Amino acid sequence: MPAVNALDTMRALASSGEVMDFEPGSVIFRSGESGDCMFGLLEGQVELSWNDSEGKELINAGDVFGAGALVTQEHRRFGDARSVTACRLLVMNREKFLFAVQESPMFAIELLASIDQRLRHLKGCISG
């Protein structure tokens, strides 16, 4: 049985209005904007960039990003997110996030594991 991940939990709680499509090259969010949702990448690839594009990370289908917006009051986005390919994103607001954490505490563990995996991969790319 495959492991459940944060995106699976997001999918289970989603309604149809929470899926957004982006064409290649579309801006999803910009550095400094207020953030009130996180994203799960259903299809496609997204590039996150920060420090005037000095730092970059590619997000692939199955990954989640932007969770900082849901755990920090008056959150401002740290970097830019842009679709590299045509993308389909699942959007989760703070209300659904808090519900997910309360009703499925493993969601928080899944989300932390996802972030940890991304950071380890990014560290390997920087130091390698």
Give the chain's domains with CATH numbers.
Answer: 6-116 (2.60.120.10)
Confidence of residue 55 (pLDDT cuts 50, 70, 90): confident
pTM for this model (two decimals): 0.83
In 3-state terms, what secondary structure has residue 44?
coil
Q: What is the pLDDT of residues 57-112, one digit of tens each?
A: 999 998 899 988 888 878 889 899 999 999 999 999 988 888 888 988 888 888 88
Confidence of residue 128 (pLDDT cuts 50, 70, 90): very low
For residue 91, give the nearest of 25, 5, 48, 28 by alpha carbon.
28
In angstroms, how far is CA 41 from the centroid of its own chain?
A: 7
- Give the angle 20-39-29 at the CA atoms, nearest 5°: 80
Strand arrangement, sheet containing 37-43: 19-22, 87-93, 37-43, 64-65
Q: In this predicted model, which residue has the larger pLDDT, 27 or 120?
A: 27
